[in-house]
Amino acid sequence: MTLQGFRVELAPMPAQADRLAQHAGLHRVVFNHCLAHVQAVMGQRAAERTYGIADDQLTPAVGWSAPALEKYWRQTHAQVYPWFTAEGLSSRVPKEACRALAAALSNWAKSKAGTRKGRRVGFPRFRRRKDGATCRFDAHTAHPVTARTVHVPTVGKVATREDVGWLTDRIADGRARVVGSRFERRAGRWWVSFQVDVDRTEINARHTAPQDGPVVGIDLGIKTFATIVADDGTVVEIGNPRHLQHKLRRLRRANKALARKTKGSANRAKAARQVGKVHLDVANARADFLHKLTTSLTRTKPTIVIEDLAVAGMVRNRRLARHINDAGWAELRRQLEYKAAWYGSTVIVADRWYPSTKTCSSCGDINPELTLADRAWACPCGAVHDRDRTAALNLLRLAA
């Protein structure tokens, strides 16, 4: 079984949309309520230490586990938030909110101790209404019922805008099961993402990458999104679609219109949805492009060599930050790695400090004077190199 996401847009009735929004608000309230309690106790203990109080005499610490936080919510919500019971909202949402907070606190503690990989993670922040409307349900409490409806606790059967028969058929015969779900509102529209344990054996077998197919090296860039050099000598250059760049004019006009509206007015809410729609269009176009490219590569290439790009450091260049973020290189690598596991191909990630661009593909000399502005360069051995093609060719040779 493979853990996989399955996302579909919903078409809720107005009353159902309001009910979903209530659950999203509940998720935010529970998260903030428990976080405020954790902060208060931590602050109290820190203050007591400054008074010289011994550790065994301090205010008892708060448990950071999901069950401990959920227990605190059950003990206090009747006095602080009586509307939770009065409105008949699902008890599954507070459970998931406590799990989210527990995970955030754990990540912060591990990051502070230096035992967590990746960038440092700060202390959890309070969630705001303007950050978006999301909520989660555990296990299969929310699940597809038919090819066009999804059951949501206390909300009812919500219609979908797309056919989910692919999933319902597999659930019916035991080839898949829902292990969780997440509801999200963006630009006034609702989506549900199911986390599914699914048997992909038959699907992967039909699309297994041919072992005698071409091995490729891929150099990623901004002007040319990907330069793909194969071991059979073919070179394919994929232009950068620049999804955000093409929508910047629309985005600026939408942001200006939003800034002119009175805060709290219905017109401002409408203008905010227009801004969200532009961002949503950009995100959808980028996701569609990356999914099509990575699926094609992993289904046809037995070995793919890519770079280990330090994207977090590269975006510090203020002149290139927007273009780098718009490209989505990190998402490309993520998709390549999990799809390669599906279709039997291999992804090789070059060492981050491997000078693929500066190395002459003919004699192997390294050109330390090469700058970002140099699109072509000549080696003392007489070879003239195109920057991107040379990098892709050098990456390809790592597969040998």
Catalytic machinery residues:
219, 307, 388
Q: Quote the CA–CA distance of 149 and 278 in Å, as a whole number.
A: 28
Q: Report the SS3 class of residue 154.
A: coil
Specify which residues 135 forms β-bridges with.
183
Pick from 279, 11, 40, 7: nearest CA to 166 = 7
Q: Quote the CA–CA distance of 106 and 95 in Å, as a whole number.
A: 17
Helix intervals (H) in the chain: 14-50, 66-80, 83-86, 92-113, 165-172, 201-206, 243-260, 266-300, 311-314, 321-327, 329-343, 387-396
Angle between helices 266-300 and 329-343 (to 10 degrees): 50
Q: Quote the CA–CA distance of 241 and 239 in Å, as a whole number.
A: 6
Pick from 345, 380, 340, 341: nearest CA to 363 = 380
Q: Quote the CA–CA distance of 181 and 96 in Å, as a whole number.
A: 10
Q: Quote the CA–CA distance of 217 and 222 in Å, as a whole number.
A: 17
